[in-house]
C-alpha cells in the first residue's frame, strides 16, 4: 500500500507492518513476523524493487514480530542491518526477553542475523533519522523520513486514531508515554505504526 510517494506499507506484513522507504537509498523498516519473508520478497518484486536494491534494514525494536525475517532478508538483500545497542543483545539471543515475550520467543524460533550494527552516534542513515523512544523495549526507536514518522510499537492505530500499546506488552509504560510526548514535538504528517494502518497526524500524537 502506497502511503506517500516515498513510502510503502508492505501488505504482505499486514498486522505487523514493515515499510519500504525510498529515500537517498532504499530502506526497509522492520521485517514482519516469522514466515512472511517470501511474501515480502514477492511484494518487493511487484514494486519493481530487487532484493539487492535494499541497502539498509532498520529495526525499531527486538520483538519477534519485527525481526521475524531479518536473517532471510539480510541474506537475500545483502543490506546492512541496524538496531539500537540496547536491543541488540535480545536480537542476538544474549539476553532473554521478559514475561509473555519470552514465551513468544520460545514458541516462535527466529533466526539471528549474521551481522548487526548499532545505530550511528549521529543517528542518521542517509536522509533518515533514527529517534530513540524507549519504553516498549529498552532500545525502541522511531524512524523519521521527511513527513513520515515510523512509530514501531511506540503507539498503535485503530479506526484512524492513535492509541497506546497495551501496557502488558511494554517493558516500561511510563517511559513509553514520555517517548510518545517527545515525538509529538517533531514535525511530520503521517504516522506509520506496525500494528494498525498508517494515519494522518491528528491531535492524539
Return residues touching Zn ion (CB under 5 A).
63, 65, 153, 194
Min separation Cβ 30 and Zn ion, Å: 8
With respect to Zn ion, which residue has the nearer C-beta, 49 or 150?
150
Q: Which residue, among 3, 60, 4, 7, has the nearest Cα to 30 in the 3D structure?
A: 60
Q: Distance between CA atoms of 70 and 83, rounded to whole angstroms?
A: 11
Closer of 20 and 194 to Zn ion (Cβ): 194
Q: Minimum distance from CB of 181 to Zn ion (Å)?
A: 21
- For 98, the grid coordinates are 521478559
Smallest distance from the beta carbon of 169 to Zn ion, in angstroms? 8
By C-beta, is 49 or 84 nearer to Zn ion? 84
In the complex, minimum distance from the CB of residue 193 to Zn ion, in angstroms, rounded to a whole number: 9
Which of residues 26 and 165 has its CB atom nearest to Zn ion in the complex? 165
Q: Which is nearer to Zn ion, 128 or 194 (CB)?
A: 194
Residues 6+ away with beta carbon under 8 Å from 65: 16, 32, 33, 194
- Can you give 4-67 as a three-state secondary structure string? ECCEEECHHHCCCCCEEEECCCEEEECCCCCCCHHHHHHHHHHCCCCHHHEEEEECCCCCCCCC
In the complex with Zn ion, the residue whose CB is nearer, 65 or 74, is 65
Q: 100 Cβ partners below 8 Å, 6+ apart? A: 168, 169
- Closest approach of Cβ 45 to Zn ion, in Å? 25
Residue 153 CB, nearest approach to Zn ion (Å): 4
Pairing of strands 54-58, 7-9: unpaired
Amino acid at each position: 500500500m502506497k502511503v506517500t510517494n516515498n513510502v510503502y506499507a508492505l501488505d504482505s506484513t499486514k498486522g505487523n507492518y514493515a515499510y519500504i522507504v525510498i529515500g537517498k537509498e532504499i530502506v526497509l523498516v522492520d521485517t514482519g513476523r516469522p514466515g512472511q519473508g517470501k511474501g515480502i520478497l514477492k511484494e518487493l518484486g511487484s514494486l519493481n524493487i530487487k532484493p539487492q536494491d535494499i541497502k539498509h534494514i532498520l529495526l525499531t525494536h527486538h520483538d519477534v514480530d519485527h525481526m521475524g525475517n531479518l536473517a532471510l532478508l539480510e541474506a537475500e538483500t545483502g543490506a546492512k542491518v541496524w538496531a539500537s545497542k540496547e536491543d541488540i543483545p535480545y536480537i542476538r539471543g544474549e539476553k532473554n526477553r521478559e514475561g509473555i515475550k519470552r514465551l513468544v520467543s520460545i514458541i516462535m524460533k527466529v533466526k539471528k542475523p549474521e551481522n548487526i550494527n548499532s545505530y550511528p552516534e549521529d543517528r542518521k542513515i542517509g536522509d533518515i533519522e533514527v529517534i530513540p523512544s524507549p519504553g516498549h523495549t529498552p532500545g525502541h526507536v522511531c524512524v523519521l523520513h521527511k513527513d513520515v514518522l515510523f512509530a514501531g510499537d511506540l503507539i498503535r492505530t485503530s479506526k484512524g486514531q492513535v492509541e497506546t500499546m497495551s501496557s502488558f506488552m511494554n517493558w516500561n509504560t511510563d517511559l513509553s508515554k514520555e517517548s510518545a510526548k517527545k515525538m509529538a514535538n517533531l514535525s511530520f504528517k503521517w504516522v506509520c505504526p506496525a500494528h494498525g494502518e498508517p494515519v494522518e497526524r491528528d491531535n492524539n500524537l
